Amino acid sequence: MFRPLVAATAAALTVLGLVAAPASASPEPASPRPIKTAPAAPTAPDEAAQEESAAAAQTLRWTGTDDINSYGEAPTTAVAGETTIVFENNESTGNTTYMTHTLTFDTSTPGYNHDVSLNITANPLDGNGGLHEATVTLTPGTYRYYCTVQGHSQMAGELVVTGDGGGEDTTPPTVTAEVTGSQDADGNYVGSATATLTAADDGSGVDTVEYQLDGGAWTAYTEPVVVNAVGDHTLLYRATDVAGNVSEEGTTSFSVVEGGGGEDTTPPAVSAEVTGEQDADGNYVGSATVTVTATDEGSGVELVEYEIDDTGFHPYTEPVVVTDPGDHAVQFRATDAAGNESETGSVPFRVVEGGGGEDTTPPAVSAEVTGEQDADGNYVNSAVVTLSATDDGSGVASVEYQLDGGEWTAYDAPLTVNAEGAHTVLYRATDVAGNVSEEGTSSFTVVRTDSTAPTVSATVVGEQDADGNYLGSAVVTVTAEDEGSGVDTVEYSLDGGEWTAYTEAVQVSGAGAHTFAYRATDVAGNVSEEGTESFTVVDDPNQDTVPPSVSAQVSGNQDADWNYVDTATVTLTALDVDSGVASVEYKLDDGAWTEYTEPLSVGVGEHTVWYRATDNAGNVSAELSGSFTVVEAVNDECPNSDTRATVFIGAENTYVANRQTANGCTVADAIAQDDWYRTHNAFVRHVKRTTRELVEAGVLTPRERDIIVRAAARSDIGGNTASRV
């Protein structure tokens, strides 16, 4: 199965000191160079003996060079037990280009030991000069190792580990076979039979499993054996462990008969589809995914296979992803349970680099270390590492750092390092197109001159009763000082809860007894002793327990059906006569509760608005709601509409609502007092006729019509009198 190499997720393990094992304990020749060791304090003879007895049983060494296809040195065998892994990648091992390599143990590929999680990154310019060590425990079996750096996937190998002592395992493996498949009434397998072999060895571990079908050659067993030839069959099988012990040969016999009574002579139908993001030329950007589909109406599909660029067929189990830029062809075929094999199909395509090939340049990333320094350049009490990355192509997607061999961590703010000692920060950046920068490194030393912890105190204030209890709530204020490196953080814990960063005074309002613990840490990492304040909060008899009142008003132009035209404005009002209103919230339709800060403009549709208010004492009003509909204005025949809230006749306000009539016009537009009328009576007759029509349309009530008509009669509009006001 096509499977891209996947990097192990374990953090890199780095040990500063190394105790070299005797040459006879290592399966590879020891390096003639002295191995770098960290300075150590003198030890007493008995302490030195204890350290020597605790040393790893063997040392295995890998090296990196300028080659991206293989390690310079790499062991092939080892014995089980505690082992020191040495990985060196610098000029002395042949790396003159300052290239980064990794040494990673595979923890996912079937068939290998997965009990060692190791991922060491080494660069000649890192804080250890490219020399890194780790202590692991190896068990019998085979380990696969490889390099995770992009483009270095050919750097891989296997390490065979025998049992402790190598020659103590004299017991051969156990091996069994299971035959499965569809059977007829006589126990014959219909169309095909599948033989699965299983081997185990408690000593040095299983090395190989083999089988022999019908007197043929012994063949390495790597996956279940499918037998679809009609007839009687005999399968022999055996296993060999790492120590060379071979099991007794096992045997199983079975018969295969034609599927469907011999009626299926038609091979399966098989096809493939290529998908992915394409550029203007039809090239696949970044990757192409090939999905193979096979069907068989006879005995059924037994096996689907594929190969990429004539590299050999593999069983197809999932869509195949091709990421290497260039021209490719995926071949595919299928076999049914009766043994019929399809013609081999092929799909050609081209993959170009992400971003259409435009961005192939990784980001530029740099680090700056700041802080107070002594005469030797050491950072006093703490150092601050600031990372910067730029990318002129697709842009920076992420920046990461690794502190002192720990896990890679997303960088989002300057990193403060206050632990005393030498430190190394590795850093890298990735752009949107997936290009990863070379790993940068910055090394520095932090020395501590401040060994005095901060002083920290707390005060509790609030209204108290005669017994000293706090009425309603108590407010705790924490103060910290440090004359050395300065206060870094202040924390508190209420009633045994989690420690929380203190940023402002803490109000405690729950009735009952409380314990407030607090502490402070300075920049040098010194932590104060924990202080505590104990107090009791009781209910305030004069406390505000009445929630606020809250109301909503919807306004806007309305049509004859009382729908709002184009938009409606929702205005919320809240009142609390005791502690005062703290907040007002609303929820429109199925939306989330939102703080109300200004009138809300609502567009076309049927709507329900929910609203509530909270006072400063924490009382919350009942949730209220109101529904309304906003419709879209149709055929606006009055683009310069009179949209005053009420109807005016001349200068007189009738206080009748100036509602929408139809087609974007209002009652005032229909009255049209600004038009020219031959006489005053002509204007009054026009008003009577128009308002009668509006009553019939349901826009005005009869009483509202009477008010407007009387106002028109009192006016001086008509004849030569100007009516505009």
Examine the pLDDT at 36 and tell me if it is beyond 60.
no
Sign of CA dihedral 63, 67, 68, 71: negative
| Cα–Cα dist 323/477, whole Å | 59
The confidence score (pLDDT) of residue 53 equals: 38
Examine the pLDDT at 115 and tell me if it is beyond 80.
yes
In the chain, % of residues over pLDDT 90: 52
Contacts of 312 (CB under 8 A, 6+ apart): none
The topology (CATH level 3) of 455-538 is: Immunoglobulin-like (2.60.40)
The confidence score (pLDDT) of residue 164 equals: 57
Class of residue 32 by CB neighbours under 10 A (exposed 0-12, middle 13-18, buried 19+): exposed
In the DSSP assignment, the letter for residue 415 is E
Q: What is the amino acid identity at position 417?
A: V
Helix (H) or strand (E) run with residue 396 in it = strand 396-403
Asked if residues 294 and 304 have their Cβ atoms less than 8 Å apart, the reply is yes
| Cα–Cα dist 657/699, whole Å | 10
Asked if residues 274 and 290 have their Cβ atoms less than 8 Å apart, the reply is yes
The tokens for 345 are 């199909």
Examine the pLDDT at 543 and tell me if it is beyond 60.
yes
| Cα–Cα dist 622/619, whole Å | 10
| Cα–Cα dist 624/312, whole Å | 71
The confidence score (pLDDT) of residue 498 equals: 94
| Cα–Cα dist 457/517, whole Å | 10
The topology (CATH level 3) of 364-447 is: Immunoglobulin-like (2.60.40)
399 phi and psi, to 5 degrees? -130, 135
Q: What is the amino acid identity at position 671?
A: I
Asked if residues 123 and 89 have their Cβ atoms less than 8 Å apart, the reply is yes
Average pLDDT over residues 36-48: 39
The topology (CATH level 3) of 269-352 is: Immunoglobulin-like (2.60.40)
Query: Could you read off the pLDDT of 691-717 as tens digits, one per residue?
Result: 999 999 999 999 999 999 999 999 999
Dmax over CA atoms of the chain, in Å, equals 128
Asked if residues 12 and 132 have their Cβ atoms less than 8 Å apart, the reply is yes
> pLDDT band at residue 110, thresholds of 50, 70 and 90?
low
Q: What is the amino acid identity at position 643?
A: T
The topology (CATH level 3) of 23-162 is: Immunoglobulin-like (2.60.40)
Asked if residues 621 and 547 have their Cβ atoms less than 8 Å apart, the reply is yes
The confidence score (pLDDT) of residue 269 equals: 93
| Cα–Cα dist 332/316, whole Å | 9
Q: In what order do the strands lie in the sheet with 549-555?
A: 549-555, 568-575, 600-602
If one looks up domain 174-257 in CATH, what number appears?
A: 2.60.40.10
User: With left for phi above 0 and alpha for psi between -120 and 50, is residue 203 left, alpha or beta?
Assistant: alpha
| Cα–Cα dist 674/678, whole Å | 13
At 560, is the secondary structure helix, strand, or coil?
coil
Chain centroid to CA 624: 39
Average pLDDT over residues 364-371: 94
For residue 688, give Cα distances in angstroms to 74, 684, 697: 106, 6, 14
Query: Could you read off the pLDDT of 499-535 as tens digits, one per residue?
Result: 999 999 999 988 899 999 999 998 888 999 999 999 9
Query: Could you read off the pLDDT of 453-489 as tens digits, one per residue?
Result: 999 999 999 889 999 999 888 999 999 999 888 899 9
Examine the pLDDT at 40 and tell me if it is beyond 50.
no
* Side-chain-facing half-sphere of 639: CA atoms under 13 Å: 0
Query: Could you read off the pLDDT of 193-207 as tens digits, one per residue?
Result: 999 999 998 877 888
Asked if residues 88 and 74 have their Cβ atoms less than 8 Å apart, the reply is no
Examine the pLDDT at 43 and tell me if it is beyond 60.
no
Examine the pLDDT at 620 and tell me if it is beyond 60.
yes
The tokens for 163 are 């049992």
For residue 9, give Cα distances in angstroms to 34, 406, 438: 32, 12, 19
> Where do the DSSP E strands lie in 124-230?
131-138, 141-146, 156-162, 174-180, 189-190, 193-200, 206-213, 219-220, 225-227
Average pLDDT over residues 174-179: 94
Asked if residues 559 and 631 have their Cβ atoms less than 8 Å apart, the reply is yes
| Cα–Cα dist 541/365, whole Å | 63
**Residue found by looking up tokens 């660029």 in the block:** 309
| Higher local confidence (pLDDT), 112 or 1 | 112
| Higher local confidence (pLDDT), 299 or 557 | 557
pTM assigned to the model: 0.28
* Side-chain-facing half-sphere of 414: CA atoms under 13 Å: 12
| Cα–Cα dist 442/110, whole Å | 38
Beta bridge partners of 60: 85
Opening angle at CA 228, ends 222 and 230, nearest 5: 140
> pLDDT band at residue 263, thresholds of 50, 70 and 90?
low
Q: What is the amino acid identity at position 530?
A: E
> pLDDT band at residue 358, thresholds of 50, 70 and 90?
low
Average pLDDT over residues 410-433: 90
| Cα–Cα dist 509/470, whole Å | 9
Query: Could you read off the pLDDT of 54-99 as tens digits, one per residue?
Result: 446 799 999 999 888 889 999 998 888 889 999 999 989 998 887 8
Average pLDDT over residues 423-439: 91
**Residue found by looking up tokens 């043994």 in the block:** 339
The confidence score (pLDDT) of residue 15 equals: 29
DSSP symbols for 650-677: TTEEEEEE--B-STT-BHHHHH-TTS--
The tokens for 175 are 């091996």
Examine the pLDDT at 28 and tell me if it is beyond 50.
no
Please tell me the least confidently modeled range out of 109-123, 129-143, 497-511, 583-597.
109-123
The ranges assigned to domains in the chain are: 23-162, 174-257, 269-352, 364-447, 455-538, 549-631, 646-714
The confidence score (pLDDT) of residue 300 equals: 80
> pLDDT band at residue 20, thresholds of 50, 70 and 90?
very low
Q: What is the mean pLDDT of the chain?
A: 84
User: With left for phi above 0 and alpha for psi between -120 and 50, is residue 655 left, alpha or beta?
Assistant: left
Which CATH number among 3.40.50.300, 2.60.40.10, 3.30.365.10, 3.10.530.10 corresponds to the domain 549-631? 2.60.40.10
Angle between helices 680-696 and 702-714 (to 10 degrees): 170
For residue 721, give Cα distances in angstroms to 94, 110, 678, 710: 106, 101, 10, 18
Asked if residues 181 and 195 have their Cβ atoms less than 8 Å apart, the reply is no
**Residue 213: closest CA among 179, 262, 186:** 179
Query: Could you read off the pLDDT of 545-581 as tens digits, one per residue?
Result: 889 999 999 999 888 789 998 899 999 999 988 888 9
Asked if residues 564 and 556 have their Cβ atoms less than 8 Å apart, the reply is yes
